[in-house]
Amino acid sequence: MKRIVKDPEDLNDLLKKASGNIADFSTKAKSLKILTDIVRQTCPDLPENAWQIANCRQDLVIIEAKSPVWGQRLQFERNNIAQQLAIQTQGIFNKIEIKVNPYGNRREVVKPVEKPKKFMSESTAEHLVDVAKDAPAGLKEVLLRLAKHADRGKS
């Protein structure tokens, strides 16, 4: 039987051919990455975790700041960022909206999950004792130790 050989297809080609949400998400993610790079080049002194490009639509870029302080700092740089965006995107994006998301840098409090207590019924312990009667010496010790756990569950 002859083997069927298929050449691998490039992911970019597949995404270009795809219609619907996946292709849209891919192009939107690429454009947000490019816009992020432009803002990062314009304001290199801003930390990466203090802001992010939240969205872009029509001629507007929405920048999300993690705190009001960084939002104010972005307001000071608003004109420079808008000029660079207009230049590097050939006028596609020329407006900036800065939003503050104070919950963006909060960490979710993880509560430790309580493990359920293991429980062995009296009847299970009795069955283990019965099986241990006919078992070899090594296995008998282990089964009897295991059967004692039923007593611990009561106290």
* pLDDT tens per residue, range 64-122: 999 999 999 999 999 999 999 999 989 899 899 999 988 876 777 888 888 887 778 88
% of the chain beyond a pLDDT of 70: 90
Per-residue pLDDT for 3 more than 80?
no
pLDDT of residue 154: 54
pLDDT of residue 107: 73
Band of pLDDT at residue 52, cut at 50, 70 and 90: very high
Who contacts 119 (Cβ-Cβ below 8 Å, separation ≥6)?
153
Parallel, antiparallel or unpaired: strands 60-65 and 95-100: parallel
What is the chain's mean pLDDT, rounded?
A: 85
Per-residue pLDDT for 153 more than 60?
no
Cβ neighbourhood burial of 106 (10 Å; 0-12, 13-18, 19+): exposed
Q: With residue 24 as reference, give the H or E element that holds it.
A: helix 21-42
Who contacts 12 (Cβ-Cβ below 8 Å, separation ≥6)?
none
